[in-house]
Chains A and B, each alone.
Chain A
Amino acid sequence: QQQVKQSPQSLIVQKGGISIINCAYENTAFDYFPWYQQFPGKGPALLIAIRPDVSEKKEGRFTISFNKSAKQFSLHIMDSQPGDSATYFCAASSGGGADGLTFGKGTHLIIQP
């Protein structure tokens, strides 16, 4: 049973455009939702995270939108750059993030110059 569903599997965006990746979760006990960026051969790097008591969080060009009633959250990358080309994973956990993370399957993002 996949508890975090991520889409799309792959995404191509023109430089300067907006990249949008969506995730949906099933477990209502989840209370911490981070996004990670991973380059080939590297470990995941934490980008941004949100808790369900807010509907949006912005850090630089990265924004998380959160819809608690729909059990969905999304990552928006504004002014996408070729350096943003990577695999992005959404994740969720309970216990304020103390528990192990449940990851989506990832989105391969390619930013075309």
Chain B
Amino acid sequence: RKEVEQDPGPFNVPEGATVAFNCTYSNSASQSFFWYRQDCRKEPKLLMSVYSSGNEDGRFTAQLNRASQYISLLIRDSKLSDSATYLCVGGYNQGGKLIFGQGTELSVKP
């Protein structure tokens, strides 16, 4: 079983739609969580950190449920530029290695 599991998609949505990605992790020792975005043939870039209290950055909302070992990302009012692969990532120790999910591909269509 992978340590971080995501639905690979693809998710095909129209502009303006709301889309939600889910992710589960198996190692309860994971201390920190992130969503990274990766465009085709580019490097991963941090989208946002994920906290138990939930956090929001513009159209993006992330949530962590430690009891269920579940992480979510909600994108509202999807833009064409949101098309990318979204990577769910866990970290063991602050400053230590990151554990990546396989990524969820999002395609926003006009």
Q: Do A and B come from one complex?
A: no
B residues touching A (Cβ–Cβ < 8 Å)? none
